[in-house]
Amino acid sequence: MTFNRAGGILLHPSSLPETPGIGTIGKQAFKFVDWLAEAKQTLWQMLPYGPTGYGDSPYASFSTFAGNPLLIDLDILIENGWLTKEQAAAPEWIKNEGYVDFGSVVYWKVPLLKTAASQFLEGKGTDLRNQYEAFKNDNASWLDNYSIFMSIKEFYDEKAQKENRFGAMWSNWWPHELAVHDDKAVSEWHSSHVHETEVHKVIQFMFFEQWKALKAYANKNGVQIIGDIPIFVAADSADVWANQHLFQVDQNGRAVAVAGVPPDYFSATGQLWGNPLYNWDAMEKENYHWWVCRIKSLLQQVDFVRIDHFRGFEAYWSVPAGEETAINGKWIPGPAHKLFEVIRKELGEVPIIAEDLGLITEEVRALRDDFGFPGMKVLQFAFDVNEAGQNGFINAFLPHMYNQNCIVYTGTHDNDTMQGWLNNASEEERNLVRRYVSGGVCPEKITDDMLCPLLIKAAFASTALMAVIPMQDVFAIASEGRMNTPSTTGGHNWQWRMSAEHFDSSKASWLRELATLYAR
């Protein structure tokens, strides 16, 4: 797959401004595309946009195929006649700016979406029934299970709320036949909850109708979308519930081993993610059909696919279920080349970007390079003073060390913002940055407020095929703009929103100049 030299911005749609409670894929998303075009940026990278649950992480979705209902734009539903302005009016405690309060947004917006879906089914507003029926038919392989899963989940979550406790994982649903996805039990549930399941299907239809329009507008204006999928899926998801034979779960649907990463320099106990692991033997017997469908589905929505934790395909860290840390895990070989050979045979040359950060072995590099997948470089990892010796500055994350087949970022969603990192860096580290961005010419004249934009310039000037900059870094926003702190919940994870002032023409002109100077 050939990747062209390009530049772009990392911004999740939830971070867009000026809509009640949360950013959407409506008018403000189109406005962002216009700003990207003005800035001569041809890439818009997003985080996964599936429906999120506890913790609000886009990397822990109820479905790897579904869209997040919270990103649906209400104004478009009003224009289609499926909601009235009066119905969609936001209460005063739903704000158009500031951090996303997911709890409040869910409480207010989900019932509105269900109302809109019901009114669509009643025949109100724009008649798209033919398109809806086609959507259901084209997506039945995941949509049927997802809609039933969500209707059951809502039933048990509501029951738990009345009993003042957290909702139950699907493995605790009763009767047991429902938990293990017995065909008869699932069919009986559906028969008695037809309206509830149909509402979830309509909401997905509404999401993907809006998404289709946004992508078409982006592509028309020269902007390509980089999508993102985590290698693993959430335990509490329709994916695992409906395909238990493809995961390492027991006969009761409970995981026997879970995902994580081993202890390292940053964590003495490793990271215990808790996702159920794949049963790769079962996947192979089905010719990796589930994975082929997953990649194919996303490629119908985006132009490039970034796969998080790519190294897990070569070998994954398996931790016995019930462990409190990741210490007692072990490396287990993954499908490696076999999976991607099938994907290439079924789908052709796929535009995959490999997130190859962390503990990367020669075997992982070979897997990445044998298929020509570009890897990732992060500038925040480049300035280790211990590597700036007399024999030269050789850190692999520095621009002069790149091979062309990579994407450079100032930081990712898991990093502090670049300005936040600079603010917390030691004076020795900042001096090293000054030396690098000045080329050793009067580094003392490089003030602290010049460092962030000069690092962005270094990314654009690099040999990397693509340079992608988080929106927060374009405006040198400090740690208050951080999107996520790994291994934590609460705080402001996933909640940052830009303001309307960030549609700034002077910043667009600067980015346009960088794109022009460095042939992006």
Catalytic residue among 308, 314, 416, 473: 308
The dihedral formed by the CA atoms of 303, 306, 307 and 309, expressed in degrees to the nearest 10: 180
CA 425 to chain CA mean position, Å? 28
Q: Where are the beta strands (DSSP E) in 385-434?
A: 388-389, 392-393, 406-409
Determine the Cα–Cα distance for residues 439 and 429; give it in Å rounded to an integer.
Answer: 15
Give the amino acid at 47: L
Q: DSSP letter for 15, please.
A: G
The 10 Å Cβ neighbour count of residue 241 is 29
Q: DSSP letter for 8, please.
A: E
Give the amino acid at 61: S
- Matching residue, tokens 């997130």: 355
Determine the Cα–Cα distance for residues 80 and 119; give it in Å rounded to an integer.
Answer: 11
State the alpha helices, DSSP H only, in 317-383: 337-347, 362-370
Q: How many CA atoms lie within 13 A of 423 on its CB side?
A: 12
Instruction: Tell me, yes or no, if 308 is annotated catalytic.
Output: yes
Q: Look up residue 259 and give its two tokens.
A: 């995902």
Contacts of 389 (CB under 8 A, 6+ apart): none
- Matching residue, tokens 């890897």: 375
The 10 Å Cβ neighbour count of residue 30 is 16
Closest CA to 416 of 493, 490, 468: 493
Catalytic residue among 75, 414, 429, 504: 414
Instruction: Tell me, yes or no, if 182 is annotated catalytic.
Output: no
Closest CA to 218 of 33, 38, 355, 53: 33
Q: Look up residue 41 and give its two tokens.
A: 């940026």
Q: Look up residue 422 and give its two tokens.
A: 């600079």
The 10 Å Cβ neighbour count of residue 51 is 22
Catalytic residue among 198, 355, 416, 473: 355
Instruction: Tell me, yes or no, if 144 is annotated catalytic.
Output: no
Determine the Cα–Cα distance for residues 91 and 89; give it in Å rounded to an integer.
Answer: 7
The 10 Å Cβ neighbour count of residue 406 is 24
Phi and psi torsions of 316, nearest 5°: -125, 150
Please answer whether residues 228 and 56 qualify as being in contact, where contact means their C-beta atoms are separated by less than 8 angstroms: no
Q: DSSP letter for 520, please.
A: -
Give the amino acid at 223: V
**Which residues carry out catalysis?**
308, 355, 414
